[in-house]
Amino acid sequence: MEEYIVKDGKKLRLGYTTGSCAAAAAKAAAYMLLTGKKKDTIDLLTPKGIALHLPVEEIHMRSHEVSCAIRKDSGDDPDATKGAHIFASVKKAAGPGIFIDGGMGVGRVTKRGLDQPVGAAAINSVPRRMIEENVLEVCRLCDYAGGLEIVISVPGGEQLARKTFNPRLGIVGGISILGTTGIVEPMSEQALVDTIRVELRQRRENGAEYILLTPGNYGADFIRDIIGLDPGTAVLTSNFIGDALEICKALGFQGALVIGHIGKLVKLAGGMWNTHSKFGDCRMEILAAHAAALGLPSEKTQELLECVMCDDALRILKEEGLYGPVLSRLAGRIDAQLHHKCGEMQAGAMVFSKEYGLLCQTGLAQTLLHQIMEE
pLDDT in tens, 5-39: 776 667 889 999 999 999 999 999 999 999 999 99
> Taking the model in full, what pTM does it have?
0.76
Amino acid sitting at position 288: A
**pLDDT tens readout for residues 126-135:** 999 999 999 9
**Does pLDDT of 108 surpass 70?**
yes
Return the percentage of the chain with pLDDT > 70, whole number: 98
Residue among 151, 135, 144, 188 nearest 27 (CA): 135
- SS (HEC) of the chain: CCCEEEECCEEEECEECHHHHHHHHHHHHHHHHHHCCCCCEEEEECCCCCEEEEECEEEEECCCEEEEEEECCCCCCCCCCCCCEEEEEEEECCCCCEEEEECCEECEECCCCCCCCCCCECECHHHHHHHHHHHHHHHHHCCCCCCEEEEEECCCHHHHHCCCCHHHHCEECEECECCCCCEECCCCHHHHHHHHHHHHHHHHHCCCCEEEEECCHHHHHHHHHHHCCCHHHEEECCCCHHHHHHHHHHHCCCEEEEEEEHHHHHHHHHCCCCCCHHHCCCHHHHHHHHHHHCCCCHHHHHHHHCCCCHHHHHHHHHHCCCHHHHHHHHHHHHHHHHHHHHCCCEEEEEEEECCCEEEEECCCHHHHHHHHHHC
**Does pLDDT of 69 surpass 70?**
yes
C-beta neighbour count of 261 within 10 angstroms: 23
**pLDDT tens readout for residues 300-349:** 999 999 998 899 999 999 999 999 999 999 999 999 999 999 999 999 99
Q: Average the pLDDT over 113-135 and give the result.
A: 95
Q: Average the pLDDT over 119-130 and give the result.
A: 97
Cross-strand bridge partners of residue 99: 149
C-beta neighbour count of 352 within 10 angstroms: 22
Question: Taking a C-beta distance cutoff of 8 angstroms, is the pair 79, 65 a contact?
Answer: no
In the chain, the domains with their CATH numbers are 4-184 (3.30.2110.10), 189-374 (no CATH)
**pLDDT tens readout for residues 135-170:** 999 999 999 999 999 999 999 999 999 988 888 888
- Cα–Cα distance, 18 to 41 (Å, whole number): 17
pLDDT class of 1 with cuts at 50, 70, 90? low
- Cα–Cα distance, 188 to 58 (Å, whole number): 30
Contacts of 83 (CB under 8 A, 6+ apart): 71, 72, 73
Amino acid sitting at position 348: G
Question: Taking a C-beta distance cutoff of 8 angstroms, is the pair 358, 219 a contact?
Answer: no
**Does pLDDT of 89 surpass 80?**
yes
pLDDT class of 57 with cuts at 50, 70, 90? very high
Residue among 241, 276, 245 nearest 347 (CA): 245
- pLDDT at position 188, please? 64
**Sheet containing 98-102: which strands, arranged edge to edge?**
57-61, 65-71, 85-92, 148-153, 98-102
In this structure, the dihedral spanned by the alpha carbons of residues 323, 333, 199 and 204, taken in order and rounded to 10 degrees, is 120
Lowest mean pLDDT among 27-41, 159-173, 201-215, 239-253: 159-173
Q: Average the pLDDT over 265-269 and give the result.
A: 97
**Does pLDDT of 187 surpass 70?**
no
- pLDDT at position 12, please? 82
**Does pLDDT of 236 surpass 90?**
yes
Pairing relation of β-strands 210-214 and 255-261? Answer: parallel
**pLDDT tens readout for residues 280-294:** 889 999 999 999 999
- Maximum CA extent, the chain: 85
- Cα–Cα distance, 215 to 256 (Å, whole number): 13
